[in-house]
Structure 1
Amino acid sequence: MTNKWIGALSLLLSGHLMASELVIESWRADDKALWEQKIIPAFEAANPGIKVKFNPVPNVSYTPTLWENLKAGKAGDLITCRPFDDSLALFKAGHLAELTEMAGMENFPSFAQAPWQTDSGAQTFCVPMASVIHGFFYNKKIFNELGIRVPQTREQFFTVLDKVKADGRYIPLSMSGSESWVASELGYQNIGPNYWKGEDGRLALINGQEHLDDSQYVKVFEELARWRAYLGEDGELRDYGTSNELFTSGKAALYVAGSWEIAPFTDKVDFGVMPPPIAKQGDGCFFTDHTDIGMGMNPASKNPQAAMAFLQWLTTPEFAELYTNSLPGFFSLSNHFFDVTNPAAREMMEWRDQCDSTIRVATQILSRGQPKLGDELAEVSQAVLVGKMTPTAAAERLEQGLKRWYAPHQTRKAKEQECQCVEQGFMPPAPAVVLGETIESPVAAATDNAESARQAVINDEESQFSDAVELILPIVIPKQE
């Protein structure tokens, strides 16, 4: 498949391309104006004869809608890719073209390509576009008014919250208590890396060297539970939009933040950014810099040459700078160097030079079985935040859920006794699923196609796992005469 598309691109570059129209499928409805007014015009100016249409759908319905359209042959030419398993399932089902040898992929480091590769890293199927960073925003006016310095440690962080609360005029911490993804992504997975030491902890969970009910993971929930006292009246009922409005209207001192809110907040409030607080001065710092968005090609596209031209354009310095500076808070994953113009975005990106980054802990491999860790983490994080579950109970539920289907968590050994299954630049060939265990299907019929493809991924990798066991056992276990 790779050679087919490389050949198609060669024809494009060597000859005249007849007029083509491309359709981009995306969940980023908020970016429609940006694509139509800046990104698409820049591409069309450099590629006369190719027209591009941006076709976004609501975030929550993107995956089932995309699968339905792909099955019906109605999907667009270019597919915006979520990281890891969602896109891997599309590739395994034949809905994403292989891009491993596409010119321009060398402009992305291995960590940037990994979310859109097979577990072995042998095949790549989406062009990395951008990451998003987790942290906190603070209202500069309120901080100056109350004589508050930006906190660096957890003790300083809670001292700030206490001071704002005692003043009584502002909400100390603006956050949605009613939307579970906020508690997980902007709560647990925001402050968590400083507890589990970023990639060391995340990979140790995948290997089974650490467990979600270990003390460092329980402590994340303990801090999250402390936030409840600072959310203000009816904080547990507040939705995401309201929490944003409270901060941008100057009614809240701090906001649990994803960098994707930099652009919409910039003209509404004078704010600064701060990374998740560390335990004490001198500690190493860790933060979530999540590989969030890529783009691939629908193999059924009627305009494969034009689609490949667009994907190759995404690998250029022009696109990297245009996208990052047109949409502050979405950071290019390429190796290209350029100046970031938005001050808040620039400061967040500079955390990469000061701290170690990681991705969301539940994203890779650990959400392949049932129950999905990502779903469970959202539910229990919200329950802890609003006081409906204890930190210990939340951590135990996560570990028990993972233990049901993920073999590395079905035995507990000392960390030094475990094999190094995941190392820098090498991913395990399979998620270890309990052999013979049935993985239940979701209720929603709209997601059946996606879940079937994910199950196919699991079954395929399970087969690899079984083959490996058969090869290893005769060596490890002497034959009984």
Structure 2
Amino acid sequence: MKRLNVILSVLMLVCVLLPIAAQGTKASVGEVTLTMGSWRTDDVEQMNRLLAEYKKVAPTVTIKFQPTNPPDYNATLRLQLDSNTGPDLMYARSYAAGQELFKAGYFADCTDIPGLMQNFTASNLAPWQMEDGKMFAVPFAAVSHAVYYNKDILKKEGLSVPQSWEDFLSLLKTLKSRGYTPLANGLADEWDILETFFLGLLPNYIGGADQRVRYESGELKINDAAFVAAYQAMADAAPYCPNGFESVTYNDSQVLFASQKAVMFVDGSWTAEVYKDAPFDWGLFAIPAPRGKQTAICFHPDMAITMNRATTHPDEAKAFLTWLCTREGATKASQNLPVGYFPMINFPITLEDVHANEFLALNTGKQTDARFVWPALMDLYAPMNQAVIKVMKGQLTAKQAADSVAAVF
């Protein structure tokens, strides 16, 4: 009997303690901290503002933005994921680079995130979609490419925005003859002359996505007349770049334009905020197509956010991605994205910055496409980059440049 009383006492104690233990467990997981990886080191302030907005929606969740130096992001993220130390949430590259990490089992399947398949167009989903239709990220932002120009100088010289590539070359020639450096672009960092200039003008010569896929399949050849003409355009622009442009870095180019030492700069929309306090009036125009062709825009799907398949907080990570798929989340994101990054969700969103709207207006009535090599031909990035550099240095003809890339296709 005594033994029975002891057992009953123990059972009663357990019954009392279990709810307390459960409450303790609930409290310990009530406050959750997630980490977010990114290659956008310039966006710490903006992303912290956005994540603070999300905390108003999810008070128990803190998301820490932990970006990596952009050139190191891919390698660093892969190392983290391989060692099971990857962030809970992370920026996902579009197309092949992102697909590879999904295939490796690192990116979670995002297909069933509420609102994802309903609130984005098929074309905006495609860069982060597998062949079987599965989504590996939530589209976050796109960027555009155009020509920045000093309105004050053109007005002073009685010059106007060119309507064709031939007009553009004529404008460059006139500016140079009057003592100006027409273009700020250089070659030292290599990536920018390919991504912003060559891939920015390429749709003017080969067409949009419908033509790109024909090159990807091999139906059209990447050393055809259209490609040769695009390389020739780069060769024709080279004499109007700064003296010693081979040694001019991307940052140098920004400084040259900002200090009015160069009249124009072919670049991406992400640079727009750099010139927000510039002491002169500046604007944008689309890289013009040659006469007889339609001007097209390289509007590139740049960033998406995904979750780590191995995160210990899948519900909280998924809830954040779900928020990004809502009108509220997309609006907050657009308000806190850096100038020159454009939301991809299928809701009407008003941007406050004048130049951001000017960039978007360039898309009106024009074909748009991603950077040519991103969807399926990233193996051609390096050889194409070198071909552009060599043709601008005069080391290859346009035909030789096109043939050099075709040789490794």
Measured on the aligned residues, the alpha-carbon RMSD in Å equals: 1.5
The reply to whether residue 47 of structure 1 matches residue 58 of structure 2 is yes
What secondary structure does 1:301 align onto?
coil
Q: Is the 8 A contact 1:112 1:333 kept in 2?
A: yes
Q: Shift of the alpha carbon at 1:85?
A: 1.1
Q: Is the 8 A contact 2:197 2:267 kept in 1?
A: no
Q: Shift of the alpha carbon at 1:52?
A: 0.9
CA distance in 1, matches of 2:333, 2:361: 18
Aligned mate of 1:215, from 200, 222, 225:
225
What secondary structure does 2:317 align onto?
helix
Q: Is the 8 A contact 2:185 2:242 kept in 1?
A: no
CA distance in 2, matches of 1:75, 1:375: 28
Q: Is the 8 A contact 1:137 1:254 kept in 2?
A: yes
* Cα shift readout 1:170-222 (whole Å, capped 9, x = no counterpart): 21011022222122112211111011012232111012121111000000000
One-letter identity of the residue aligned with 1:34: Q
The reply to whether residue 20 of structure 1 matches residue 32 of structure 2 is yes
CA distance in 2, matches of 1:334, 1:99: 16
* Cα shift readout 1:411-439 (whole Å, capped 9, x = no counterpart): xxxxxxxxxxxxxxxxxxxxxxxxxxxxx
Match of 1:29 in 2: 41
Identify unmatched segments of 5+ residues in structure 2: 1-25
Q: How does 1:272-291 map to 2 (within 5 A)?
A: 272-280=283-291, 283-291=293-301
Q: Shift of the alpha carbon at 1:310?
A: 0.9
Greater Cα radius of gyration, structure 1 or 2 = 2
What is the aligned-residue identity percentage? 29
Match of 2:318 in 1: 308
Q: How does 1:75-94 map to 2 (within 5 A)?
A: 75-94=86-105
Aligned mate of 1:383, from 384, 390, 396:
390
CA distance in 2, matches of 1:143, 1:325: 32
CA distance in 2, matches of 1:34, 1:354: 31
Q: How does 1:98-177 map to 2 (within 5 A)?
A: 98-105=109-116, 106-120=118-132, 122-168=133-179, 170-177=180-187
Question: Which deviates more, 323-332 or 85-94?
Answer: 323-332
One-letter identity of the residue aligned with 1:108: F
Q: Is the 8 A contact 2:89 2:306 kept in 1?
A: yes
Q: Is the 8 A contact 1:177 1:386 kept in 2?
A: no
Q: What TM-score results when the alignment is normalised by the length of structure 1? A: 0.77
What secondary structure does 1:310 align onto?
helix
One-letter identity of the residue aligned with 1:222: Q
Q: Shift of the alpha carbon at 1:349?
A: 0.9
Aligned mate of 1:345, from 336, 353, 356:
356
The reply to whether residue 193 of structure 1 matches residue 203 of structure 2 is yes
Q: What TM-score results when the alignment is normalised by the length of structure 2? A: 0.90
Q: Shift of the alpha carbon at 1:280?
A: 2.6
Identify unmatched segments of 5+ residues in structure 1: 1-14, 403-481
Match of 1:408 in 2: none
CA distance in 1, matches of 2:383, 2:333: 33
Aligned mate of 1:365, from 366, 376, 385:
376
CA distance in 2, matches of 1:189, 1:294: 21
CA distance in 2, matches of 1:69, 1:270: 45
Match of 1:231 in 2: 241
Q: Shift of the alpha carbon at 1:318?
A: 2.8
CA distance in 2, matches of 1:60, 1:303: 28
CA distance in 1, matches of 2:393, 2:326: 45
